[in-house]
Structure 1
Amino acid sequence: MFPGTRAAAQNSTSEDQPRQTSNSLEDRPLTYYLPDLDYDPSIPTPEEFLGWQIGDWHISHDLQQAYMRTLAASSDRVTLVEIGRTYEDRPLLNLIFTTPENHANLEELRQRHLAWSRPDGNSRPGEVDDVPGVLYQGFSIHGNEPSGANAAPLVAYYLAAAPLSEVGKLLSDNIVVFDPSFNPDGLNRFASWANSHKNKNMTADGNDREYNEAYPRGRSNHYWFDLNRDWLPVQHPESRARIEQFHRWMPNVLTDHHEMGTDATFFFMPGEPTRVHPMTAPVNQELTAKIGTYHAAALDEIGSLYYSGEGYDDFYYGKGSTYPDIFGTVGILFEQASSRGHLQESDNGLLTFPFTIRNQVTTALSTFKALTELRPELLTYQREFNRDGVTRDGYVIDADGDPGRARELANILARHQLPVQHGTNDQGQEAYYVPKTPFSEAAFEPILEFEDSLFYDVSTFSLPMAFNLPYRQVSGGAPSGMRWTDFTLGGTPTEIDRSRAEYAYFVPSNDYYSVRAIYQLQDAGLRVKVSDQPFSINNGATKFGRGTAMIPVVGQEMSAEEIHRIVSEVEDETGIDILTTNSGLVDAGGLMLGSRSAYQTLRKPEIALLIEGSTSSLDAGETWHLLDQRFGMPITKLPIDEVGRADLSRYNTIIMPDGYYNNLDESVATALKEWMGRDKVFITVERASAWAAKNGLAKLTERKPANPDSSITQRPYAKASRDGGGRVLGGSIYQTEADLTHPLLFGMQRKEIPVFRSGTLLFEPAKNVYATPLRYAEEPLLSGYSPRGFAKSAAGSAAIVVSGNRGGRTIAFANNPNFRAFWFGTNRLFMNAIMFGSTIDGAAVE
């Protein structure tokens, strides 16, 4: 066994301090949560630090992290590291728990664990006793599921202060990576809500305001994203820090503490046996079930109701309990019935906040026991899983002429520790290579066959399809004869020609970030035009596609030197090489740069995003994040109930995300109709598009999917729930076909574009033959589960319809183009709608 355990901590004495009286109506001892042990008195309990017992109030993130820092300063069993910051600049913390002797050799032990977990042939199977097990323990990735984050101080105290007779073997044989709050911003938002609405004389009535949060609620992060869907896309700082630490430690077990509906009990993995991703090894589920016996025994001891083996699943690798499974780690989901505040009525009696915390503490401690006793099995499984996953095959991904979009995919792959290489394909075009591993195979390959038709989340997640990038599998490693270099996170900078233009600058349309460049140029005060025709200069040596932006030097309100300075800054910020010309002439066949018919002046987008009320906070947050973080466009988040009273004239673009609009006040439609006019663009997504059609803001006709069960007259009652679930489209990938001459498709290279869709809302193509620039292919299903008959119904339907209204444009999307911030293949179309929507010809709208 690797070195040692420490001697028992010595008691320290200090002058007794008077205990501050809290506002709690209940005297709850530490032993309500933790075993009755001889804890180290030199280490403060949570109650001693806070002045109130855990469960009396919802802990805010600042208090939680302050206590964690106090523990780290008080105990030689813990090292605290700050692994990142949230959007709101809150620290993301990890506490590393092990013995002092192990801390003295921590890096050596980490490397020993990695060498075992990622075998390269140098470590021998007989060395398992010398390898530390690693547990990654994380809490409350959903901020309004707070029992986990409130349990974290108690669990951390236990690890720091319990006698070695209790935790010595755990800490000497293992390393615990402890993440007390996966989502600090959401946790803090919810703690503030629950505490500020708590009654002194608590009510258990679920109608009370304490239990009904205001929009967007505390589940999500700053941009209203569900971080438990971001383990695969890694688009947010919380996820990026967490994934980096995951791969730094390669844990054997990762636990993820959640909450569910108030009327439930307590769930622990495994979940539905028919809904496990086929890339997950069967032994993973066997170990999950074996660990579950420890949780069952612990919950039996305190008399808590629980269940397992149903409801939740291990299919989507973007969740915290499933992502680990594709790396030989056992991911464990805990779901505790939620009090959503301090006290609620439930089907199982009164549910108190302290009770929910106690269950989380109990299963955190039972995880320690499982790790201590199953460590050799867990280490052996991880080693064999990763060794068996080694191949000489890989994938070549073509950049498709879009360096920005391809670079973003490479960044995602690099964050998952895939050794990405950058180079050229056999046609001399930019490409990337990644080896085939269990993770890359799961993240690349489409899936069309399923054991079950029900899914807790999406049924597919092919990354190259999300980016609309061609890829192919190759054998024997990176293709020889091509130039490959190791890719580093952030990418290889584009070579930029700094020459100054005397006549005009061009922003090529092929790069994903060209719209960002255009906006920055506009924001700096430059007039920008766009070409709807392809052209070339320099006798064909330099070609430009539709959507190329032109910045003339003449006629601007600043000097040529100042224009050059601005252009250079935009090049640096976007990585786009903005090209130059010293003449208004183009090659034969093209229209000269002064042509009014080929070049239209672009208005600078002034954007309002409708939020609150019946809008979907997830969809609104995706749009907010896209514009604010990725494209640097300021937006106004306008409450939808204020639309009828707001001055809309200051906006030329209004975005209505998906939502529930059946009972929306008529004043919203009236105000939007009055606002519509020349240069105005109204963008609607999914059910917002259907609402716009019903209220005279879009010319759309819904297509009703065929019902393949219409001839069935009798089914067993017991099948009703599963039959209903089988008709749900939770998330699949469909093929669409595009009109690449249309302004919404500027910059795209191929007419085939994969789109993500959920739900069964369909629209008929427009009667105007030019007004449906994107429609579903005749055989549209590319990957994922599709309800029986739906793909046939979707064939040929409209994915985008453009309507005209009082000189303005309504651009209706049938599917969400901004799904989870990583569907780069279609959010380019959304950005084109914002920047170029007003240029769509009036003869080409419905």
Structure 2
Amino acid sequence: MKKHYFLTLFTWFTAFSAFAQVDYFFPGETFDPAIPSPEEFLGYPVGDWHTRYDLIVKYYEKLDEVSDLAKLQTIGYTHEHRPKIILTIASGQNIEDLETIRQRQVQLADPSQPKPDVSQMPAIVQLGYGVHGNEPSSAEAALLTAYWLLASQSELAQNLRAEAVVHFDPTLNPDGRDRHSLWANSNKGFPPVADPLDREHNEAWPGGRTNHYWFDLNRDWLPLAHPESQVKVEWYHQWYPNVTTDFHEMGTNSTYFFEPTKPYGSENPVVPRKNYDEINPLFASYFAKYMDEIGSLYWTKEVFDNSYPGYGSTYPDIHGGLGLVFETASSRGHLQASQRGDISFAFTIRNHVVNSMATLEASLDNREYMHDYLREFFETAVAEGAKDPAKNYVFGDEFDQGRNRLFLQFLIDHQIKVYENSEDLNLNGQEFKKESSWIVPTNQPQYRMVRTMFEYEKEFADSVFYDASAWTMAAAYGIPFGASPSADPGSEITEVSLPKFEFPSENAYAYLLDWTDYFAPKMLHEMQEAGIHVEMINRPFTAQTQEGAVEFSAGTLMIPMGFQKLEKEEIREKLADLAESNHQQIYGVQTGLNLSGIDLGSNLVGAVEKPKVLMLVGPGVSSYEAGEIWHLMDTKVGMPITKVNSDNFGRVNLFDYTTLILPSGNYNSIEGNSLEHLKDWINRGGTVISFKTASLWLNRNEITSEELIESENKDPQSLPFAVRRDFEGAKELGGSIYMAKLDLSHPIAYGYHQENLPVYRNNSIFVKPSKNKYLTPIKYSENPHLGGYVSDANLELLKQSAGVLISPVGQGRVVHFFDSPNFRGTWFGTNKLFLNAVFFGETMN
């Protein structure tokens, strides 16, 4: 290992720029002059500016160009079409043999294959940086570490090039990084301003932490809602790295964190103890040694969560590797004052550089050990799965093929083996028909991910969670499922086929579209965009169609051919095209007289107004929740919505819109005439869709008058100061799953066929059911807790509260959501509750 000499802990920014960068980051080392340093390439020392992502890509392209030891590939693109790249550095021979090395690594992760000779296999390391765009030091460290590995003449660097394959992902979140970099560079002072109140250190909403749709990509390794994560996880399964890093920043007054994380309380229940008890401490000794040499303070075993499978440092732990999270104190700009002095951007970068090097040394020293662990991980997974009494999980929704396809693809993307179900099954009263259900055996290498998909966890070593405490993905998709020790798997599903339906060959009196399928709202939007008049049938009925007698549920859409502005043949062509592109079945009927139930001209049938939606965003509003809504409407419905900052609300004429969405947040900037305009618009028929704290704001401003449920539990008068975090944190409801009961006759539940529905809740706002007995369409079951942490006191309050309720306001209404129907772009099972409020809001009171 190279020797660092001690430098001043905090380096004044302008002084740093005055001496050679190598002396600061790599003292005493020599480098190959044929390899340009980042400073030579960029024209400024790393740390002087926040480097734009395109320049990071160009520098890696330059390394690929000048060295046979570097290979660059583009694995995909972000929402804003920035390339997602991987730079691989290894010996010339290993670069030539890269595909053979990859196949051998995948073979090592497959217990059904002979174990390769690990003594001849290079260490496979993935250095991942910058999942949070406004934690910028890590991507700068990616530039310097790649340069060091490729150009350093040190013994360690040479050994790594010979005996390791190192993959660099310099920025997991390019869109967010550029948003933050523009802010920091645009607001940089000369000299830089260390005052934390300076504009440079306080980004405008929504900040650069998140991606284009304001999602935290460090939660997306499991949900796979975004292209950045989709291509990254696909790449991950092509390599199964032994070690994966995840570099972050934290508060300016902190020091540096590396794993181990908090014992037991922050650990994932499916990860083997060996990971936490042996491997993490082994690697930590390297990090401590490197940090000791430069005099940086650090800490371990506190706070940071390692339980949620969607973290970039946890997902590898569930795949036989070692995921490592690192957190450095942030300068949140170029220089910022802290309790220990001024922190420079360069100082934060150096912390990550030395821990990148420490990770590489630890991975090299423990190369065979980590290879053996990878094989052991999957061998024990198969053995544990074979002993699991569940044996098989059977899943499938008889009515919603769209969600079935989404879940099937999701399982396949995570390399979980799925099979056809060859027989009808009844599991604890749930029917699973063979043509619309599938089987996931527990006896497979991905057994621990199978548990992640289907198990509910209720027992925890801690009661305070940094993030979600529940993640049962079958529940998120709203897919009925059950364990079956005796199921008989059929053929393996390796790709998801799309259904094809024949459009009715004869001209029809009217056409019908069942509202059950997940993608029916997209079809409705596209029909309305095409100028097709659509009506909704508010009661169940049976009609004679080209498929014979078909039962339809409430919420079915009707296209009456006698009430259209377009010509009949044009309607038929448009409907056929839209049905094919959306994979929807259209039924034709020759009469308005139904076989049973209401007829097509009933007063319980009415036109569906084309929604025009406004959503308030901006300072004080939850960007996560707003982003979930925006992402859903864009990517799953294809419907544009208008986003307006709440402090610009005075410029809005609400009568240009049908629907106003208020994500959780503070709307105190809406007052005076603006508030009166809002009240007038609702009273005249407007629909507000309100989430959590936004509903409290509506109550405070006397737009609604719903009643909160307050806890009757009294805190002790005195407690030790040291327990304050645990005691107060245990009161929070930080992300768990509950069973809701739907009123299937209410428009909020149209498209659902079962009254039981898992819902996700991550707040402690409890509101009494409506005084109007018809307007609490979603409550909780008698014993609602399915998974995740909840205190006994909060569970009792939840049982008494409403999940969704409707507040009539004059001719309008407010639809209140106290759960999270669009959580992280992956709660497909509850999306339709929200979309029903968008499309059918005017019918809900």
Q: Shorter-chain TM-score: which interval?
A: over 0.9
1:373 aligns with 2:373: no
CA-to-aligned-CA distance 1:590-629 (integer Å, 9 cap, x gap): 222122x121101001010100021111111111111111
What does 1:680-699 correspond to in 2, within 5 Å?
680-699=686-705
Give the structure 1 partner of residue 225 of structure 2: 235
Alpha-carbon separation, structure 2, partners of 1:378 and 1:666: 64
What does 1:118-157 correspond to in 2, within 5 Å?
118-123=110-115, 127-157=117-147
1:661, 1:687 within 8 Å by CA — same for their partners in 2?
no
Give the structure 1 partner of residue 5 of structure 2: none
Q: Alignment partner for residue 347 of structure 2, among 351, 355, 358?
A: 355
2:503, 2:576 within 8 Å by CA — same for their partners in 1?
no
1:626, 1:821 within 8 Å by CA — same for their partners in 2?
yes
Q: Alignment partner for residue 182 of structure 1, among 172, 188, 191?
A: 172
Q: 1:498 to 1:185 in 2, by over 3 A?
A: farther
Alpha-carbon separation, structure 2, partners of 1:743 and 1:753: 15
Give the structure 1 partner of residue 799 of structure 2: 795
* 1:306 shift after superposition: 0.7
Give the structure 1 partner of residue 11 of structure 2: none
Give the structure 2 partner of residue 212 of structure 1: 202
1:643, 1:671 within 8 Å by CA — same for their partners in 2?
no
2:109, 2:374 within 8 Å by CA — same for their partners in 1?
yes
Give the structure 2 partner of residue 474 of structure 1: 484
Supply the AA of the counterpart residue of 1:441. Answer: R
Q: Single out whichever of 159-168 and 618-627 deviates more from structure 2.
A: 159-168
Give the structure 2 partner of residue 283 of structure 1: 274
Give the structure 1 partner of residue 101 of structure 2: 109
Supply the AA of the counterpart residue of 1:55. Answer: G
Give the structure 2 partner of residue 658 of structure 1: 664
* 1:421 shift after superposition: 3.1
Alpha-carbon separation, structure 2, partners of 1:425 and 1:670: 61
Per the alignment, in what secondary structure is the counterpart of residue 406 of structure 1? helix
Give the structure 1 partner of residue 441 of structure 2: 435
1:670 aligns with 2:680: no
Give the structure 1 partner of residue 709 of structure 2: 703
* 1:167 shift after superposition: 2.0
Q: Single out whichever of 61-70 and 535-544 deviates more from structure 2.
A: 535-544
For structure 1, which runs of at least 5 residues remain unmatched after alignment?
1-21
Per the alignment, in what secondary structure is the counterpart of residue 580 of structure 2? helix
Q: Alignment partner for residue 402 of structure 1, among 400, 403, 412?
A: 400
Q: Alignment partner for residue 300 of structure 1, among 292, 295, 303?
A: 292
Q: TM-score, normalised by structure 1?
A: 0.93
Give the structure 1 partner of residue 6 of structure 2: none
Alpha-carbon separation, structure 1, partners of 2:275 and 2:671: 51
1:644, 1:670 within 8 Å by CA — same for their partners in 2?
no
Supply the AA of the counterpart residue of 1:406. Answer: N
Q: 1:470 to 1:440 in 2, by over 3 A?
A: same
Q: Alignment partner for residue 557 of structure 2, among 549, 553, 556?
A: 549
Q: 1:25 to 1:329 in 2, by over 3 A?
A: closer
Supply the AA of the counterpart residue of 2:572. Answer: H
1:641, 1:668 within 8 Å by CA — same for their partners in 2?
no
Give the structure 2 partner of residue 488 of structure 1: 495
Give the structure 2 partner of residue 599 of structure 1: 605
Q: 1:503 to 1:35 in 2, by over 3 A?
A: farther
1:496, 1:576 within 8 Å by CA — same for their partners in 2?
no
1:444 aligns with 2:454: yes
* 1:512 shift after superposition: 1.1
1:503 aligns with 2:509: yes
Alpha-carbon separation, structure 2, partners of 1:173 and 1:475: 45
1:269 aligns with 2:259: yes
Supply the AA of the counterpart residue of 2:463. Answer: S
- Aligned-residue Cα RMSD (Å) equals 1.8
Q: Single out whichever of 443-452 and 500-509 deviates more from structure 2.
A: 500-509
Give the structure 2 partner of residue 718 of structure 1: 722
* 1:673 shift after superposition: 1.0
Per the alignment, in what secondary structure is the counterpart of residue 341 of structure 2? coil
Q: Alignment partner for residue 311 of structure 1, among 299, 303, 309?
A: 303
Give the structure 1 partner of residue 566 of structure 2: 558
For structure 2, which runs of at least 5 residues remain unmatched after alignment?
1-13, 425-432
Give the structure 1 partner of residue 463 of structure 2: 453
Per the alignment, in what secondary structure is the counterpart of residue 246 of structure 1? helix
Alpha-carbon separation, structure 2, partners of 1:115 and 1:64: 33
Q: Single out whichever of 578-587 and 381-390 deviates more from structure 2.
A: 578-587
Supply the AA of the counterpart residue of 1:110. Answer: R
Q: Alignment partner for residue 538 of structure 1, among 535, 538, 544?
A: 544
Give the structure 2 partner of residue 784 of structure 1: 788
CA-to-aligned-CA distance 1:504-543 (integer Å, 9 cap, x gap): 1111111011111111101100110000111112397311
1:266, 1:336 within 8 Å by CA — same for their partners in 2?
yes
Per the alignment, in what secondary structure is the counterpart of residue 650 of structure 2? coil
* 1:116 shift after superposition: 1.0
1:211, 1:341 within 8 Å by CA — same for their partners in 2?
yes
Percent identical residues: 39
1:219, 1:226 within 8 Å by CA — same for their partners in 2?
yes
Alpha-carbon separation, structure 1, partners of 2:800 and 2:821: 18
Alpha-carbon separation, structure 2, partners of 1:297 and 1:575: 58
What does 1:59-98 correspond to in 2, within 5 Å?
59-98=51-90
Alpha-carbon separation, structure 2, partners of 1:559 and 1:465: 44
Per the alignment, in what secondary structure is the counterpart of residue 454 of structure 1? coil
Q: Alignment partner for residue 820 of structure 1, among 824, 829, 844?
A: 824
* 1:425 shift after superposition: 5.3
* 1:677 shift after superposition: 4.6
What does 1:547-586 correspond to in 2, within 5 Å?
547-586=555-594
Q: Single out whichever of 716-725 and 78-87 deviates more from structure 2.
A: 716-725
1:775 aligns with 2:766: no
1:727, 1:788 within 8 Å by CA — same for their partners in 2?
no
CA-to-aligned-CA distance 1:331-372 (integer Å, 9 cap, x gap): 000001100001111112111100000001010011110011
Alpha-carbon separation, structure 2, partners of 1:706 and 1:277: 34
Q: Single out whichever of 797-806 and 259-268 deviates more from structure 2.
A: 797-806
2:737, 2:761 within 8 Å by CA — same for their partners in 1?
yes
Give the structure 2 partner of residue 462 of structure 1: 472
Supply the AA of the counterpart residue of 1:814. Answer: F
Q: TM-score, normalised by structure 2?
A: 0.93
CA-to-aligned-CA distance 1:786-832 (integer Å, 9 cap, x gap): 02311111113111111222311210111221111111111210000
* 1:313 shift after superposition: 2.3
Q: 1:236 to 1:496 in 2, by over 3 A?
A: farther
* 1:660 shift after superposition: 3.1
* 1:723 shift after superposition: 0.9
Alpha-carbon separation, structure 2, partners of 1:640 and 1:72: 47
Supply the AA of the counterpart residue of 1:555. Answer: F
Runs of 4+ in 1 over 6 A off after TM superposition: none
Alpha-carbon separation, structure 2, partners of 1:654 and 1:140: 35
Length, aligned pairs only:
810
Per the alignment, in what secondary structure is the counterpart of residue 204 of structure 1? coil
Supply the AA of the counterpart residue of 1:622. Answer: E
